[in-house]
């Protein structure tokens, strides 16, 4: 059974899809990365042991407009789920994330510049790809996603690159008219595809697996190659 296209209209006030070479003082791509789009779909419906999302197309509906933001950011990273569980079980003492009142140069807050996008709107397209052994459940998975998306249900609030930038969504009906992308054609160079190995179900302790692909927006449309495609450049971490 061939997966069906699952389209969403998404919009928001701000977005930041950071270019990896400019992640300290963040500068956004003008279009979402496939990993950011996958995150939006995962926020609505996600069963990582049974399937993954394959992003296929991104249509830009509002012209990219940048806004400069300066934000206070803590230097610490959010603790992992495993760390939080150890805190809850009393195996380790909880460690607070301090914004002030610390002499440790690796803690506290710092001001960083962000070149974000404002007033964004996209039409996203993706397909459900069941893992081996779950192919017969594809139709049920698709139906469940459509029911959840139609009612606005989500596991957590989808966001555009940063959690401070919420993404609002609406399911596109199968009979809906096609979108009207803007007339933007631009070569964006290499873009981050994903930070996980999408060829198999992931685990919480998996190492990062960076993949990239060469990006060109034509008439407001970015066609995303499949992860298995030779157009997706994957780093072999065994050689690192």
pLDDT digits (tens, 9 = 90+) for 33-54: 999 999 999 999 999 999 999 9
Domain 5-68+117-186 has CATH 3.40.91.50: no
CA distance 125 to 110: 37
Residue 240: the pLDDT is: 47
CA-to-CA separations, 37 to 31, 67, 70, 86, 159, in angstroms, rounded: 10, 21, 25, 31, 9
pLDDT digits (tens, 9 = 90+) for 156-170: 999 999 889 999 999
Whether this prediction's pTM lies above 0.75 is answered by yes
Whether 127 and 53 have beta carbons less than 8 Å apart is answered as yes
Residue 237: the pLDDT is: 55
Residue 238: the pLDDT is: 54
CA distance 223 to 231: 12
Instruction: List every span in the chain annotated with CATH 3.30.70.2660.
Output: 5-68+117-186
45: which 2 tokens? 């419906």
CA distance 96 to 104: 13
CA-to-CA separations, 111 to 75, 165, 166, 193, in angstroms, rounded: 10, 18, 21, 28
Whether 150 and 44 have beta carbons less than 8 Å apart is answered as no
Low pLDDT (below 70) residues in the chain = 204, 236-240
CA distance 79 to 57: 33
């Amino acid at each position: 059974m061939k997966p069906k296209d699952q389209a969403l209209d998404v919009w928001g006030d701000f977005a930041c899809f950071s270019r990896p070479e400019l992640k300290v003082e963040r500068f956004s791509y003008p279009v979402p990365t496939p990993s950011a789009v996958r995150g939006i779909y995962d926020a609505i419906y996600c069963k990582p042991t049974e399937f993954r999302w394959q992003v296929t197309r991104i249509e830009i509906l509002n012209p990219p407009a940048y806004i400069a933001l300066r934000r206070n950011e803590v230097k610490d990273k959010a603790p992992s789920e495993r760390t939080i569980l150890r805190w809850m079980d009393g195996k380790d003492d909880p460690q607070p994330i301090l914004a002030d009142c610390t002499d440790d140069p690796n803690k506290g807050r710092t001001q960083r510049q962000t070149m974000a996008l404002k007033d964004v709107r996209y039409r996203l397209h993706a397909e459900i790809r069941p893992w081996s052994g779950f192919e017969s459940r594809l139709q049920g998975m698709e139906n469940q996603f459509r029911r959840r998306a139609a009612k606005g249900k989500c596991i957590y609030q989808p966001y555009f690159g940063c959690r401070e930038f919420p993404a609002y969504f609406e399911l596109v009906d199968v009979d809906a008219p096609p979108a009207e992308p803007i007339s933007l054609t631009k070569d964006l160079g290499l873009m981050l595809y994903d930070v996980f190995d999408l060829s198999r179900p992931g685990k919480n302790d998996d190492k990062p697996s960076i993949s990239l692909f060469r990006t060109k927006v034509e008439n407001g449309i970015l066609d995303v190659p499949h992860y298995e495609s030779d157009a997706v450049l994957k780093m072999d971490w065994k050689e690192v």
